[in-house]
């Protein structure tokens, strides 16, 4: 499980990993992909969440996308 802290107006982006075979992805989608979000802790200005997702799902903080990581 990946645990991240997000503040108000911050977000996550879920994408498909670069090395995923399209046929494998289609089969995974056909079977259903489960992504679980867990509320680990919360405060007035932030929340700590846990994210569980299959290997082919990439979880990125939006601020990293603008840097090109």
Number of domains in the chain: 1
> 48: pLDDT confidence band, cut at 50, 70 and 90?
very high
CATH number for the domain that contains residue 21: 2.60.40.4380
Its domain, for residue 41, covers 2-67
**Half-sphere exposure at residue 53, Cβ-oriented, CA atoms within 13 angstroms:** 20
Mean pLDDT of 39-63: 87
Q: What is the pTM of this model?
A: 0.66
Is the confidence at residue 68, as pLDDT, over 70?
no
Give me Rg for the CA atoms of the chain: 14
Average pLDDT over the chain reads 85
């Amino acid at each position: 499980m990946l645990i991240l802290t997000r503040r108000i107006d911050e977000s996550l982006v879920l994408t498909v990993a670069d090395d995923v075979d399209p046929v494998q992805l289609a089969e995974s989608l056909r079977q259903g992909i489960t992504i679980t979000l867990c509320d680990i802790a919360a405060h007035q200005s932030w929340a700590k969440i846990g994210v569980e997702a299959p290997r082919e799902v990439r979880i990125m903080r939006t601020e990293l996308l603008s840097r090109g990581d």
